[in-house]
């Protein structure tokens, strides 16, 4: 499982961590029942506070993505929506953009402006 976060981003760190988990669940990289790394370990690896990781895990638990078990850490509780729908939408966006003469960088800038 690959975790990427940007400390300089406008997005909160806990949201970025939660996005990594959602992406992993949606892509099948994190199957149901998979145990996530302990918050302290992940916090050290990503250079964030343990409580930031715990906040991300708690958000995901509230969404039903994760479940906490006493003494066994956080586990994936349910499979998220498949990424295929996002891929299809992205392909449509690229097709329309290409028709209008927009390049990859233009599309990335457009998405960044909208988010």
Question: Distances in Å between the alpha carbon of 86 and those of 24, 66, 83, 92, 107?
Answer: 14, 22, 5, 10, 15
**Which residue in the set 1, 78, 110, 111 belongs to the binding site for other proteins (CB under 8 A)?**
1
47 near other proteins (CB under 8 A): yes
What's the closest the beta carbon of residue 110 comes to other proteins, in angstroms? 22
Using the minimum distance from each CB to other proteins, give the nearer residue, 41 or 106.
41
Place of tokens 């994760």: 66
**Which residue in the set 27, 28, 44, 88 belongs to the binding site for other proteins (CB under 8 A)?**
44
27 near other proteins (CB under 8 A): no
Q: Which residues partner with 67 through β-bridges? A: 75
Place of tokens 């449509």: 92
Q: Which residues partner with 73 through β-bridges? A: 69
Of 4-12, 57-65, 92-100, 101-109, the window that binds other proteins (rule: CB under 8 A) is 4-12
């Amino acid at each position: 499982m690959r975790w990427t976060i940007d400390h300089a981003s406008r997005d909160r760190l806990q949201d970025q961590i939660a996005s990594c988990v959602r992406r992993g669940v949606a892509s099948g990289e994190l199957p149901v029942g998979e145990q996530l790394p302990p918050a302290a370990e992940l916090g050290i690896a990503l250079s964030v506070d343990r409580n930031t990781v715990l906040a991300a895990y708690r958000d995901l638990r509230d969404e039903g993505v994760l479940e906490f078990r006493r003494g066994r850490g956080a586990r994936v509780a349910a499979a998220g929506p498949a990424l295929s729908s996002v891929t299809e939408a992205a392909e449509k966006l690229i097709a329309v953009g290409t028709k209008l003469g927009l390049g990859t960088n233009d599309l990335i800038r457009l998405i960044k402006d909208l988010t």
